[in-house]
Structure 1
Amino acid sequence: MDDGRAEGLMKLGMRQLDAFQAVMTLGTVTSAANVLATSQPAVTRSIRQLEDATGLQLFRRVRGRLEPTADARELMETVRQSYAGIDRIAQVASQLRRRHTGHLRVGCLPAFAQGFIARTIADFLADHPKASLSVTPLMSSDVVRATRSREVDIGIAAYDIDVTGLDTRPFTDCPEIAVVPAGHPLADRQVVAPADLAGQPLVMLGASDPYRQRLDRLLAGEGVTPARLVETPTSSALCAMVVEGVGVGVVNPITALDFIGQGLVMLRLAADLPFVTTRLQVTTGGPNALALAFITVMERRRDMDLAAVAEALGPHPSIS
């Protein structure tokens, strides 16, 4: 292709391609002009410019109609592919805008994925009604992976962790509590010791859960054997079973708070079992303004929930 024609092709705009596609699709200049909201001479001029730039005859006039040539039909396939590419660019750009300015993706422990996150989102949307969010419950290792790969914007994982390439900040560090159903003999206690769980039916997390393993070591050290054991993979299910009288349990207080008013009684546990979690974000690029706003709301909601837990537990016996 000579330099002059190449330069002409580079100067082609969407107007010429729109006119070409419209005439090819609709069959007449009149129909194309109506669809494009322009004049017939403007469509004809755009077609002529495209023919000049490509060096091809694209249409023949046969009995007052434009008949596309073989070259035009072949060129049309490329134009269709180009439009598909443009549509894809627009789609990706829209997704990126939503991800970075209007859409937040949160990955968190199942313990947070219900009541706590629901309360946080309700608080957040009160100030950001046009934002959209997605919440994915994940195990801690998957929270780390998803945050690192930018599948989520904000992650909450268990334990005090420090991961290369991620900004990690402490999120919770509060004692786990005992939970019993209303009317249970232990329900009137202010504090429950591990020994008080001896002979009780226990509801516990699955055997592979590190928090469960820590509790197992504590109970074994105290010589505590449960009357029976029911296992469940999530803290929410544990609390629901306690409400139904299946047994008593030890759980993080933020999940337990979801079941206050449903027949769950929270009690202080005389044991050193902290519930520690970490908030994660990528370090490169940093969080966008919407993510920062969500983090602020999330931390405020955490503080409110922990204050509600303290109120439900009542004053500590040592200061009452």
Structure 2
Amino acid sequence: MHIELRHLRTIRAIHEAGGLAKAADLLRITQSALSHQIKGLEEQVGMELFGRRTKPMRLSAAGLRLLRVADRVLPEIEALEVEFDNLRHGSAGRLHIAIECHACFEWLLPVLELFRHTWNDVDVDIRPGLAFSAIEALERETVDVVITSDPEDIPGITFAPLFDYSPLFVAAAGHPLADKPFIEPEDFLGETLLTYPVDRSRLDVFSMLLEPAGVEPAAIRRVELTEVILLLVASGRGVTVLPDWVLREVKFHSDYITRPITEKGLTRRMFAACRAEDTAKPFMAHFTRLARTEAVKLQRGRSGMTAAPSPILTASGGQGQTTP
């Protein structure tokens, strides 16, 4: 037996209309074409599906069984058509994000909270476990966006600039280095450096400062959570280097001091990498806009004046950079 969707729609239309003429109008076909379709369907089933001598026209027991199938299947097909239409027009889809930046949760979660209010039909997820193979996961379509500060020249991958940030030194308020206007590599020689548990190549303090200078801290302590890092700093258990958006409240806290790294300071740029064909999707463009604006708000902190918006390149190039 070969049952098609048009057969299920026919059964439903006749049941709702109560006659062939009205059902044909609902289906937008001629009455003769509908009669021919019914005849062919009944030949497949091997029994009558309608009581033709009743008014309104009623389904037989076999017809009612087929109607139950139509009531289950057709709504799912119609919902699927709506989903596909939304996908074509960019109002639905998937936004699975991999982050190469351990501290990015601080600004990414507020961005996604705003994003979901507009794009409730977009499936959002964060995949932190893919940090060491994020770009490969993007190429395999395992994820849709990679948050990174290390842009590469990869065919089919676009790196959209988001915002500039500054890694800052943080120590307890009574620390001897509080007297210095800025921090130099040699200042870490006698210090316990508190870092996230990621490879050194992904930490700005190593890739941008200590390794080029050939300096090794007295000790390194790896800590998972930003809050715990700051707790240890405040209690004098070590010093740290964190991106400015993490320190929006710390700057005003009497337990801490923050200082720029080197006299000129350090500046990095964050990017959102995605597949080139996805850049035209409306929800992807909106996510990028939110990431640019909301992160800057965090950088400004509660005063709204502690940082200015960073100039963002309009092209996707840039120098290689490392994550905070």
Q: State TM-score, norm by structure 1.
A: 0.63
- 2:277 aligns to what SS in structure 1? coil
- 1:267 aligns to what SS in structure 2? strand
The unaligned stretches of length 5 or more in structure 1 are 21-32, 314-320
Name the CA distance, whole Å, in 2 between partners of 1:256 and 1:217.
19
* Residues 65-80 of structure 1: pairs in structure 2 closer than 5 A: 68=61, 76=66, 80=69
Name the CA distance, whole Å, in 2 between partners of 1:195 and 1:289.
48
Query: Are residues 1:288 and 2:278 paired?
Result: no
Q: 1:97 aligns with which of 86, 89, 94?
A: 86
Please state how far the C-alpha of 1:171 moved relative to its aligned partner.
Answer: 3.5
Name the CA distance, whole Å, in 2 between partners of 1:258 and 1:164.
40
- 1:156 aligns to what SS in structure 2? strand
Q: 1:53 aligns with which of 36, 40, 51?
A: 40
Query: Are residues 1:267 and 2:259 paired?
Result: yes
Query: Percent identical across equivalent pairs?
Result: 13
Query: Are residues 1:277 and 2:274 paired?
Result: no
Name the CA distance, whole Å, in 2 between partners of 1:119 and 1:15.
46
* Residues 179-190 of structure 1: pairs in structure 2 closer than 5 A: 179-190=170-181
Please state how far the C-alpha of 1:129 moved relative to its aligned partner.
Answer: 3.9
1:148–1:282 Cα contact (<8 Å) kept: yes
Task: Tell me the amino acid that sits aligned with residue 286 of structure 1.
Answer: T
Query: Are residues 1:298 and 2:291 paired?
Result: yes
Please state how far the C-alpha of 1:268 moved relative to its aligned partner.
Answer: 0.7
* Residues 190-269 of structure 1: pairs in structure 2 closer than 5 A: 190-206=181-197, 208-212=199-203, 215=206, 218-219=209-210, 221=213, 223-226=215-218, 228-233=219-224, 238-239=229-230, 241-243=232-234, 245-257=236-248, 259-260=250-251, 263-269=255-261
Larger Rg over CA atoms: 1
Which structure exhibits the higher relative contact order, with contacts defined as CA atoms closer than 8 Å and separated by 6 or more residues? 2
Query: Are residues 1:16 and 2:17 paired?
Result: no
The unaligned stretches of length 5 or more in structure 2 are 25-33, 308-324
2:248–2:300 Cα contact (<8 Å) kept: no
Please state how far the C-alpha of 1:203 moved relative to its aligned partner.
Answer: 0.6
- 1:191 aligns to what SS in structure 2? coil
1:110–1:235 Cα contact (<8 Å) kept: no
1:280/1:96 CA distance change after superposition, 3 Å = farther
Size of the alignment, in residue pairs?
281
Name the CA distance, whole Å, in 2 between partners of 1:95 and 1:113.
32
1:178/1:235 CA distance change after superposition, 3 Å = same
Task: Tell me the amino acid that sits aligned with residue 199 of structure 2.
Answer: S
Name the CA distance, whole Å, in 1 between partners of 2:112 and 2:194.
30
2:170–2:258 Cα contact (<8 Å) kept: yes
Name the CA distance, whole Å, in 1 between partners of 2:85 and 2:238.
48
Name the CA distance, whole Å, in 1 between partners of 2:36 and 2:74.
23
User: C-alpha deviations, 1:98-127, integer Å up to 9, x for none?
Assistant: 7931566252345454221234346x45xx
